[in-house]
Homo-oligomer: A and B are copies of this chain.
Amino acid sequence: MRVSELVERSGLPLATIKYYLREGILMPGEPTSATQSSYGPQHLRRLALIKALAGAGLPIPRIRAIVRLTDEPVDRLYDTLGRAVANLPPYLDGRDDCPEADHPRARRVLERLGQVYEPAFPAVGQLERALKAVEDIGLPMTVDRLDTYGRHIQAIAEFDIAHLPVGSTEAAVEYAVLGTAVYEPVLAALRRLAHQDIASRTLPEPGDRPAPDA
């Protein structure tokens, strides 16, 4: 297809597509003349991925790192996916980003959950920062809360991984980065609505008498 059709089918302006070509995150088309190129389904698919990543707040260098991994995967699928997902926000500041930095809160939590503590994983730094915020406001991350959160998040993550398409690296990377990014807001909104639903059934009304002893 010509670039005009790529504009129409991707829903992206011509200037944006040219920008992605210049930045090397959209692969070039097949030249058909000195000024025209021909594009195929792989260009549409790549544009959909770029659009979704840009929409999730990723800057161009992070998007470039991800598309490069789909084109040139590293040896193990596990490593390719880990490196791809590591480009997702939230980004930590330089100090936290340092691979040698220790994350004591995250380490304790992961030990309790029986998971490997690998301080170089960005999500470990994200967990540390999130646990620090919990501590700062004086809402304790009790062992009970951690065990409950950990058990149910584990079940959700098992569903996610069970549905990972392992046949194609490109599809696996897309699922891993996009699935991580787009389902997080879904899960957060579902939790808020579940709070509302449960609270509407269980919170005391102004006229409620204390419950009699059972």
Q: Which residues of A contact B (CB under 8 A)?
A: 48-49, 52, 55, 75-78, 81-82, 85, 90, 106, 109-110, 113, 115-116, 118, 121, 123-124, 126-127, 129-131, 133-134, 136-139, 141, 144-145, 148-150, 152-161, 163-164, 166, 175-176, 178-180, 182-200, 202-206
- How many monomers of this chain does the complex have? 2
- Residues of B close to A199: CB separation below 8 A: 78, 81-82, 161, 164
The residue among A118, A121, A127, A187 with the most chain B CB atoms within 10 A of its own CB is: A187
Whose C-beta in chain B lies nearest to the C-beta of A156? B152
- Residues of B close to A193: CB separation below 8 A: 110, 115, 121, 123-124, 127
For the complex, give the distance between the alpha carbons of A177 and B196 in Å. Answer: 12
Whose C-beta in chain B lies nearest to the C-beta of A155? B152
Known contacts A124-B193, A199-B161, A204-B166; is-contact A48 B155 (Cβ 8 Å) = no
A sample of 20 more A-B contacts (CB under 8 A), given A133-B185, A150-B194, A152-B153, is A48-B137, A52-B133, A76-B203, A82-B199, A106-B189, A126-B192, A127-B189, A131-B186, A134-B183, A149-B159, A153-B156, A153-B187, A157-B191, A157-B194, A157-B195, A157-B197, A158-B194, A161-B195, A184-B191, A188-B188
- Residues of B close to A185: CB separation below 8 A: 90, 126, 129-130, 133
